[in-house]
Structure 1
Amino acid sequence: MSMDDDKTEPVTVDVLAVTSTIVAAFVRSNAIPAAAVPDLIASVSSALRSILQPPALREPELVPAVNRKRSVFPDYIVCLEDGKKLKSLKRHLGAHFGMTPEEYRAKWGLDPDYPMVAPNYAAQRSLVAKSAGFGRKPPARPQGESPPSLES
């Protein structure tokens, strides 16, 4: 049988039996007051239990599809989840990953002001909105003048 055929089996250990063996050997070889024996037993038992516990399951380290610093370009943003080039990231995150922009930023350690829209696209949309009259206050009316009526 080769080493490749061996499978690692979980080791079952009687912690109490091993603890008593270790403590008995220590007490035989060392002068220890009787009052210190319970602390010695607890210490050995605790050490054995911590050694025998399976390692905690760690979450796999996150690896973005592209470098975070190279994910924002003038005409598109690269999604760190799947590497797609998008003008707007918010809808993509919700539809494909069920994430909000805040969850996405937290997951990847991005700043709270990390853009969800490509800079040129945002500027273009801003121009369209401004040309349609959005973002401006209506002109001030002289006092006493009533607003125009919708009735004819």
Structure 2
Amino acid sequence: MIGLAAQIVASYVGNHTVSTQEIPQLMTVVYQGLMRLGQEGSAERPEPAVSPKKSIFPDYIVCLEDGKKLKMLRRHLKTAYNMTPEQYRERWSLPLDYPMVAPNYARQRSKLAKQIGLGTVRRETSSRKAA
């Protein structure tokens, strides 16, 4: 680590005006920063805003990233975190069937889709058969 800190400081000093009295302090700051980076990456695991078990409600889903209550999680993840549902599930160790839409909202949309005939095969009208 000391060697890496020395390389960083040497590069910095080569491109900036630094007095000789500031170099030891700069070396210490860079070295301590590198040491913190090594510790943070290995020990910390992200903490969800709420427990995954308590994130699904009938009318909304709570985002584990920021704790927001949403009907649809997919768009929020993409715009706020540039994250896909797959990446979100992997980050929080969620099952593959973890919903991205609130259960009541999904039922409402399904009912609406069935009412307008989505998902059914349309029958040809008698005028088309005659032609």
Q: When the two structures are superposed, what TM-score results if normalisation uses the length of structure 2? A: 0.64
Structure with the bigger percentage of helix: 2
- AA aligned to 2:97 is D
C-alpha distance in 2, partners of 1:78/1:129? 25
Q: Does 1:111 align with 2:95?
A: yes
Determine the structure 2 residue equivalent to 1:74.
58
Residue 104 of structure 2 aligns to a residue whose secondary structure is: helix
Root mean square deviation, CA, Å: 2.6
Larger C-alpha radius of gyration, 1 or 2?
1
1:3-152 → structure 2 map (5 Å cutoff):
57-58=41-42, 60-139=44-123, 147=129
C-alpha distance in 2, partners of 1:95/1:125? 22
Unaligned 5+ runs, structure 1: 1-9, 11-53
Unaligned 5+ runs, structure 2: 3-34
Q: Percent identity?
A: 52
Structure 1 residues 148 and 101 mapped into 2: Cα distance closer, same or farther (>3 Å)?
farther
- AA aligned to 2:113 is A
- AA aligned to 1:58 is S
1 or 2 for the larger relative contact order (CA 8 Å, sep ≥6)?
2
Q: How many residues align?
A: 95
Q: CA deviation at 1:147?
A: 4.6
